[in-house]
């Protein structure tokens, strides 16, 4: 059981911006950092915490620019979030470390590990990081760029309407800084970083994931030399919520495999 008295919100500064992280300390020698998906909060991942807490202290980062946080004071890219996590790891002197990255959090984990070798293990859940190969998506983006370029020169009203109508509902609600930040992040392909990861990696994916389709998981599995892919049938992008029991059985087995009773 998680000791809720030790479920503590803490604040830390990075590049002049204050952000929050949750610390669940069980006085273990092992540590786990959970890196959330884009615009997700710490509560999204609560279904994992009971399992994790049996083996490890837990740290969950609430990234700047996400819901109910202070935004970065400029347009940033993936490196901003990578260096933020690196700063936290070094500041707390975390060792015996597993990083769990979901979706966007997986992007951060991949680049962090490939460059700085910060963790001993990775668990990537429906991770982002590879550009879509869908030809229809590419055509749609190209049409948008062409229209935007034309309207910018001849029709400001149509340009504004095009911008307002593009993107998902969640994207439209972002501030200008976070929209540009998001675009910068998703346009960075991390394929070249995958072969540089040399720690054990577990990949967990929903078979019906449309956000980060299963072909991405297979590419991760092929490029990351010491990886194992587990597919959760019928699940989509949030397998840890859609199939809590199955997800936590696999998660528990992974912790047993890497740390056993030495926690």
pLDDT digits (tens, 9 = 90+) for 41-91: 889 999 999 999 999 999 999 999 998 999 999 999 999 999 999 999 999
Q: State whether 51 and 161 are in the same domain.
A: no
Task: Give yes or no for residue 218 having a pLDDT over 70.
Answer: yes
Q: pTM of the entire structure?
A: 0.88
* Cβ–Cβ < 8 Å for 10, 23: yes
Mean pLDDT value across residues 238-256:
97
Residue with the two structure tokens 């397998």:
239
Mean pLDDT value across residues 3-31:
87
Task: Give yes or no for residue 135 having a pLDDT over 50.
Answer: no
Q: State whether 157 and 223 are in the same domain.
A: no
Mean pLDDT value across residues 244-255:
98
164 or 197: whose pLDDT is higher?
A: 197
Q: State whether 25 and 76 are in the same domain.
A: yes
pLDDT at residue 171, rounded to an integer: 78
Confidence band for 26, pLDDT divided at 50, 70 and 90: confident
Last residue of a domain, one of 149, 164, 186: 186
Lowest mean pLDDT among 3-12, 57-66, 68-77, 185-194: 3-12
Residue with the two structure tokens 């604040």:
11
Q: State whether 138 and 121 are in the same domain.
A: no
Task: Give yes or no for residue 260 having a pLDDT over 90.
Answer: no
CATH code for the domain in which residue 220 is found: 3.40.50.1820
Last residue of a domain, one of 170, 186, 202: 186
Q: State whether 68 and 152 are in the same domain.
A: no
Task: Give yes or no for residue 212 having a pLDDT over 90.
Answer: yes
* Cβ–Cβ < 8 Å for 206, 239: yes
Q: State whether 68 and 147 are in the same domain.
A: no
pLDDT digits (tens, 9 = 90+) for 154-184: 776 655 654 555 555 567 789 999 999 999 9
Number of domains in the chain: 2
Q: Which helix (H) or strand (E) holds 210?
A: none
Residue 162: half-sphere exposure toward Cβ, Cα within 13 Å: 17
* Distance in angstroms (rounded) separating the CA atoms of residues 27 and 53: 10
Mean pLDDT value across residues 229-238:
98
pLDDT digits (tens, 9 = 90+) for 93-128: 999 999 999 999 999 999 999 999 999 999 999 999
Domain holding 167, by residue range, is 134-186
Residues near 241 by beta carbon (within 8 Å), at least 6 away in sequence: 44, 47
Confidence band for 131, pLDDT divided at 50, 70 and 90: confident
């Amino acid at each position: 059981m998680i000791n809720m008295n030790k479920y503590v919100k803490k604040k830390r500064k990075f590049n002049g911006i204050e952000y929050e992280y949750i610390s669940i300390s069980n006085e273990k020698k092992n540590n786990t950092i959970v890196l959330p998906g884009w615009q997700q909060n710490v509560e999204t991942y609560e279904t994992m915490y009971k399992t994790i807490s049996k083996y490890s202290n837990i740290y969950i980062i609430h990234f700047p620019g996400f819901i109910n946080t202070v935004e970065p004071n400029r347009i940033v890219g993936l490196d901003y979030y990578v260096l933020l996590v690196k700063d936290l790891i070094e500041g707390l002197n975390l060792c015996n470390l597993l990083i769990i990255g979901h979706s966007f959090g997986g992007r951060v984990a991949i680049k962090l590990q490939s460059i700085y070798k910060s963790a001993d293990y990775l668990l990537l859940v429906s991770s982002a990081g590879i550009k879509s190969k869908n030809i229809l998506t590419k055509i749609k983006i190209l049409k948008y760029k062409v229209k935007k370029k034309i309207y910018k020169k001849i029709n400001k009203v149509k340009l504004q309407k095009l911008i307002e109508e593009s993107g998902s509902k969640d994207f439209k609600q972002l501030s200008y800084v976070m929209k540009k930040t998001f675009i910068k992040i998703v346009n960075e392909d991390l394929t070249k970083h995958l072969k540089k990861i040399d720690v054990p990696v577990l990949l967990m994916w929903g078979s019906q994931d449309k956000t980060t389709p299963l072909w991405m998981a297979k590419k991760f599995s092929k490029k990351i030399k010491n990886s194992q892919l587990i597919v959760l049938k019928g699940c989509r992008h949030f397998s840890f919520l859609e199939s809590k029991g199955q997800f936590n059985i696999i998660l528990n087995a992974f912790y047993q495999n890497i740390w056993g009773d030495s926690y």
